[in-house]
Amino acid sequence: MEKLKVIIDGRECEAIKDQCVLDVARENGIPIPALCYNPEVKTSGGSCRVCLVEAHQGGWMRLVTSCNYPVRKGLEIKTNTDLVHKIRRGVLELLRARVPDSDVIKKLALEEGITEPRFKKDEGEDNRYKCIACALCAQVCEEVVGVSAISMQNRGADKQPGTPYHKPSNVCIGCGACVYVCPTNAISMKETGDIRRIWSRDFKMAKCSMCSKPYIPEAQIDWIVKTTGKARAFFDKCPDHR
Amino acid sequence: MEAITSMEQLQRYRDRLQARQKRDLAAVLVCCGTGCLAKGALKVADAFKAEFESKRIKANIDIGLKTTGCHGYCANGPLVVLRPKDILYHKVQPEDVPEIVERSLKGSEVIERLIYQDPDTKESIADFHQIPFYKYQVRIALRNIGIIDPTEIDDYILQGGYHTLAKALRMNPDAIIAEIEASGLRGRGGGGFPTATKWKSAKAIQSDVRYVICNGDEGDPGAFMDGATMQGDPHAIIEGMIIGAYAIGSNQGYIYVRDEYPLAVKNLAIAVKAVREKGFLGKDILGSGFAFDIKISRGGGAFVCGESSALMRSVEGKVGEPRAKYIRSVEKGLYDKPTVLNNVETWANVPIIIEKGGAWYASYGTKGSKGTKVFSLVGKVNNTGLVEVPMGISIRKLIEEIGGGVLSGKRFKAVQTGGPSGGCIPERLSDLPIDFDSLTDVGSMMGSGGIIVMDEETCMVDVAKYFIGFLVGESCGKCTPCRDGLRRMLDVLIDITEGRGKETDVAVLEELCDVLTWGALCGLGTSAANPVLSTIKYFREEYDAHIKDKQCPAGVCKALITYSIDAEACTGCTLCAKKCPQKCITGERKKAHVIDTEQCIKCGVCKDVCNFNAVRVA
């Protein structure tokens, strides 16, 4: 691992070659807003464009997404310039119109001084109107969970995650990783008794033998047992009672 | 088919082919490019076959008969060329064929009605090299198209094909790259990146596997350069790729061709199979020890897959979405291996540069843009078609001399270059030399080489709306600026063209343009603002007329225009009333007619059919 120095907002920061700018900035307490990036998901990032920063290198400057821009020798980053704010404001105004009810986006947009978008807001009932199509859910499902139950479908404004043909997926394990990573809380997961409903499919939940709280879908236990060889008895108790 | 395993054997094979063919054999070349096919070229070719049979002429022994790729002069198809005199017959119909065979092939007469006539001087020109459309062209990338039958590898070998490969395989790979560098060749797909630099970078990366890719996903509206090349001369591309692969040390190549080009897919497949059988693909090519093969990968029709990183994902069988190119594809491309991706035209130029030398190629063109460029010339121009000209030719020369000027003598207003993400260049800049840098300087771009000519009846706001609409439909949706920014732009443009434009609209458009240019993920998004920015820059007065005066000066935007009949000019011929689909034109014979504007749907049929220019649009 090659260590090097990168300048962010005038401060010299230690970094590892090819580490992303956003991680380095956060390690050094320099805030950059970001939605579609999750450090645990290697394929994530680069789609929402909220984390744009100025990259100065070798005599040129361009805006780059800090979540996937690799740190190389001689790089200087500026996170707080007029250009950065202007373009971020534009991006957030577009997102405000796309997902008008999202509190996360409302808050971020307000930080850039946007109360109402100038464009006609998208309106509708289904999850498309909460989703910024960042693909983090599909990425976590493929890369971390390893089942690829959902993927990004359609293109342009209609791009959204879903199961094939919007039918209940027989490979989904109901783990809810997609729900946990979603930056705009756009994926619905409901639990009624010992049944979890996600992506139009019902999952029976296993109960903890101590507190009898339903805490994990049986399909997820099957998957973990199958892929890791962990003993089934391990899932007898919920994390609180292990 | 015998495999050819050495350069000497290839030479002997070609000598045998030449011996079999009589020198200066008279030949009929029927253009079967897409334009001529649509106009019935296959029927013409069949008529020649039938006529040969009935006259007991042995095809390709007594007289040659070939179906070829696109001759370029699409406006006048179906085209037939008679060799060796290179007489070009226009708009040939099957009924003309017996006469051509009798008078021009058995005899040596030229049939006057089928040859080119200069619209101004009325001079007839038989030899196509002397026709203005061809006279100013320099055909390098298109050197074989229209001459060879693309489905016959022997035709290509007869033109010297694969001899350059044999030469290259005896060269040091670095010397090949040096020759490409000396030629100054820049990527013909639009980016204009120096080809040799790309090859060198990919070669410099330590890796056991490298790939070469041919990008044949041409998707710009009005562009058909690469399609014509893949259909008309697939071997030039394949030979270029083998040479490139040898130069950078790659053993596997892919040709990514859009499936909407069925003839290109077919001819490429025939060519790859023939090349494999001849032994120019496979192991130990021409006894050199070098191994290389090519797979054809068919694209499903997403415009964004012409973007290199999206294309590579598509080849891998994934959804064609671009990725950030902060780590370049020469470093990590297809399957994360170093990859050289070049466009069809770039590859087709490679063999001839190695054959004739980089300095020869660099003798054409301008300081920063060497060689020639193939353009598809379309829109409101007389000679629509495929042309190849030296870089640096002026827009005016291209349109007026090669293109034969604007249709129906209307005023030339602008050209749109570079595909949907290109820009519109006004008439007053038409002495601009066409090269990569000059087009970028005026806010457009070379793109892959589409040139759309616009006249005074083209509304520039409507043009911007059209291209943004195209891009809205083709945005992959991965990044916010492109997915959501473009459709908001389209909303604003629709408002402007439908009379709901606000004073602030131009500023909003400019802001959105900035968000795209600075903030989008891939080249499609970052260049998507060009149609709007360039029309605002050069035709601001049209935006203002739409927004402030609620008028469309070009008479295009339906919500802002009304049709009326000039009573002075109308002769009462009743033609417009007969043709009007709404039946809303009334009037007595030989008296001025009137349009009921309440009923009128502004389709423009009355204006098109009026022989007295009496229909007014305001």
pLDDT for the residue B551 = 94
The reported pLDDT for the residue numbered B118 is: 87
Whether B480 has its CB under 8 Å from any CB of chain A: the answer is: yes
pLDDT category at B20 given cuts 50, 70, 90 is: confident
Encode pLDDT of B555-580 as tens digits.
999 999 999 999 999 999 999 999 99
Report chain B residues whose CB lies below 8 A from the CB of A119: 488, 491
User: A174-193 pLDDT, tens per residue?
Assistant: 999 999 999 999 999 999 99
Contact A101, B529 (CB under 8 A): no
Q: Where in chain B are all domains bearing CATH 1.20.1440.230?
A: 461-547
| Between B21 and A103, residue with greater pLDDT | A103
pLDDT cut 70: percent of chain B above it: 99
Tokens encoding B166: 């044999």
B335 at A interface, C-beta within 8 A: no
Beta strands in chain A (DSSP E): 3-8, 11-16, 52-57, 60-65, 76-78, 151-153, 160-162, 189-192, 195-198, 201-207, 214-217
Instruction: Find the angle CA(A232)-CA(A238)-CA(A239) to the nearest 5 degrees.
Output: 105
Closest CB to A52: pick one of B476, B478, B519: B519
Helix, strand or coil, per DSSP, at residue A231: coil
- Domain spanning B25-134: which superfamily? Glutaredoxin (3.40.30.10)
> H helices of chain A, where?
21-27, 82-98, 103-111, 136-139, 177-181, 218-228
| Contacts (Cβ under 8 Å, ≥6 apart) of B379 | B222, B415, B416, B451, B452, B453, B454
Q: Which residue of A has its CA nearest to B471?
A: A156
Tokens of B156: 């290509």
Q: Is the pLDDT of residue A126 over 80?
A: no
Pairing label, strands B64-68, B27-31? parallel
Instruction: Look up the CATH architecture of domain B461-547.
Output: Up-down Bundle (1.20)
Predicted local confidence at residue B344, as pLDDT: 97
Please list, in sequence order, all residues whose beta carbon lies within 8 angstroms of the beta carbon of residue B415, skipping any fewer than 6 positions away. B379, B395, B399, B424, B425, B430, B451, B452, B453, B454
Q: Look at residue B23 and tell me whether its pLDDT is greater than 70.
A: no
Q: How far apart are the first and last CA of chain A?
A: 37
Please answer whether residues B539 and B454 qualify as being in contact, where contact means their C-beta atoms are separated by less than 8 angstroms: no
Percent of chain B with pLDDT over 90: 87
- Nearest CA among B420, B291, B354, B399 for reference residue B161: B354
Contacts of A118 in chain B (CB under 8 A): 508
Q: Assess whether the previous peptide bond of B84 is cis (omega < 30° from 0).
A: yes
Q: Cis omega before residue B78 (within 30°)?
A: yes
Q: Do A156 and B520 touch (CB under 8 A)?
A: no
pLDDT band at residue B300, thresholds of 50, 70 and 90?
Answer: confident
Mean pLDDT of chain B: 94
- Output b/e per residue, B210-249; b: 16+ Cβ within 10 A: bbbbbbbbbbbebbbbbbbbbbbbbbbbbbbbbbbbbbbe
Which ranges constitute the DSSP H helices of B302-386?
Answer: 308-315, 344-356, 358-362
Task: Encode B215-252 in three state secondary structure.
Answer: EECCCCCCCCHHHHHHHHCHHHHHHHHHHHHHHHCCCE
**Domain B153-362 architecture:** 3-Layer(aba) Sandwich (3.40)
Residue B358, both tokens: 């980089």
B26 — pLDDT class (breaks 50, 70, 90): confident
Helix (H, G, I), strand (E, B) or coil at B605: helix
Distance in angstroms between the alpha carbons of the first and the last residue of chain B: 68
Which of B483, B487, B514 lies nearest to residue A87, judging by beta carbons?
Answer: B514
Place of tokens 């087009």: B439
- Provide, as residue numbers in chain B, all residues whose Cβ is less than 8 Å from the Cβ of A65: 324, 521
Contact B515 A87 (CB under 8 A): yes
Does B518 contact chain A (CB < 8 Å)? yes
Question: Nearest residue on chain B to A133, judged by CA atoms?
Answer: B478
How far is Cα B410 from Cα B414, in angstroms, rounded to an integer? 12
**B532 min Cα distance to partner chain A (Å):** 17
Q: What is the pLDDT of residues A15-58, one digit of tens each?
A: 999 999 999 999 999 999 999 999 999 999 999 999 999 999 98
How many Å apart are CA A224 and CA A147, to the nearest integer? Answer: 11
Q: Which amino acid is at B166?
A: A
Which one of A66, A87, A116 makes the best mutation probe of the B interface by having the most chain B beta carbons within 10 Å?
A87
Across the interface, whether the CB atoms of B484 and A98 are under 8 A apart is answered yes
* Cβ atoms within 10 Å of B254's Cβ, excluding its own: 23
Q: What pLDDT shows up at residue B1?
A: 57
Q: In the structure, what pLDDT confidence band is assigned to residue B398 with cuts at 50, 70 and 90?
A: very high
Residue B63 has pLDDT above 90, yes or no: no
- Answer yes or no: do B477 and A159 touch at CB < 8 A: yes
Residues forming CATH 3.10.20.600 domain(s) in chain B: 372-458
Find the closest chain B residue to A36 by CA distance: B479
For residue A158, the chain B residue with the least C-alpha distance is B477
Domain with CATH 3.40.30.10 in chain B: 25-134
CB atoms within 10 A of CB B122: 7
What band does B421 get if pLDDT is binned at 50, 70 and 90?
Answer: confident
- One DSSP character per residue, B397-449 reads HIIIIIS-SBGGGPPEEEEEESGGGSEEEEGGGTT-B-SHHHHHHTT---TT-
The residue of chain B with its CA nearest to that of A63 is B518
The partner residue sitting opposite B475, judged by closest CB among A95, A120, A156, is A156
Give the residues across from B67 on adjacent strands.
B30
Give B478's contacts in chain A (Cβ within 8 Å): 46-47, 133, 135, 159
Instruction: Tell whether B519 lies on the interface with A, counting CB pairs under 8 A.
Output: yes
Q: Which residue in the block uniquely carries the two structure tokens 């041919």?
A: B214
Asked whether residue A144 carries a pLDDT value surpassing 60, the answer given is: yes
Q: Which two tokens stand for residue B350?
A: 């490679």
How close, in Å, is residue A79 to chain B by CA atoms? 14
In chain B, CATH 3.40.50.11540 sits at: 153-362
A220 token code pair: 């997820």
- Facing residue for A94 by CB, picked from B327, B480, B521: B480
Helices and strands counted in chain A (H then E): 6, 11
Choose among B245, B220, B233, B223: nearest CA to B295. Answer: B245
Angstroms from A201 CA to nearest CA on chain B: 25
For chain A, which residues make up each domain, given as ranges? 3-80, 127-241
Please check whether residue B512 touches A, CB under 8 A: yes
Going by pLDDT thresholds of 50, 70 and 90, the confidence category of residue B59 is confident
CA gap B96, B583 in Å, rounded: 41
Mean pLDDT of B111-139: 92
Q: Write the pLDDT tens digit of every residue in B327-370.
A: 899 999 999 999 999 999 999 999 999 999 999 999 999 999 99
Nearest Cα to B343, choosing from B190, B215, B478?
B215
What is the fold, at CATH topology level, of the domain defined by B562-617?
Alpha-Beta Plaits (3.30.70)
Candidate ranges A100-104, A154-158, B251-255, B427-431; pick with highest mean pLDDT: B251-255
The answer to whether domain A3-80 has CATH 3.10.20.740 is: yes
Residue type, B561: I
Q: Which residue of B has its CA nearest to A160?
A: B477
Which 8-state DSSP code applies to residue A196? E
- Residues B78-93, mean pLDDT to the nearest whole number: 94
Confidence of residue B409 (pLDDT cuts 50, 70, 90): confident
Q: What is the DSSP string of B536-597?
A: HHH-HHHHHHHHTS---TTS--GGG--EEE-TTT-----HHHHH-TT--EE--TTS--EE-T
Predicted confidence at residue B22, as pLDDT, reads 66
pLDDT of B18 above 90: no
Mean pLDDT across B543-548: 97
- C-alpha A213/C-alpha A209 separation (Å) is 8
Task: List CB contacts of B372: < 8 A, sequence separation 6 or more.
Answer: B138, B139, B140, B141, B364, B365, B388, B389, B390, B391
CB A83 within 8 A of CB A62: no
Tens digit of each residue's pLDDT (9 = 90 or more) over B150-173? 999 999 999 999 999 999 999 999
Distance (Å, whole) CA B286 – CA B278: 10
Cβ–Cβ < 8 Å for B301, B259: yes
CA distances in angstroms from B24 to A82, B29, B103, B207, B527, listed in the order given: 70, 14, 18, 50, 50
* CATH code for the structural domain at B372-458: 3.10.20.600
Q: What is the DSSP letter of B79?
A: P
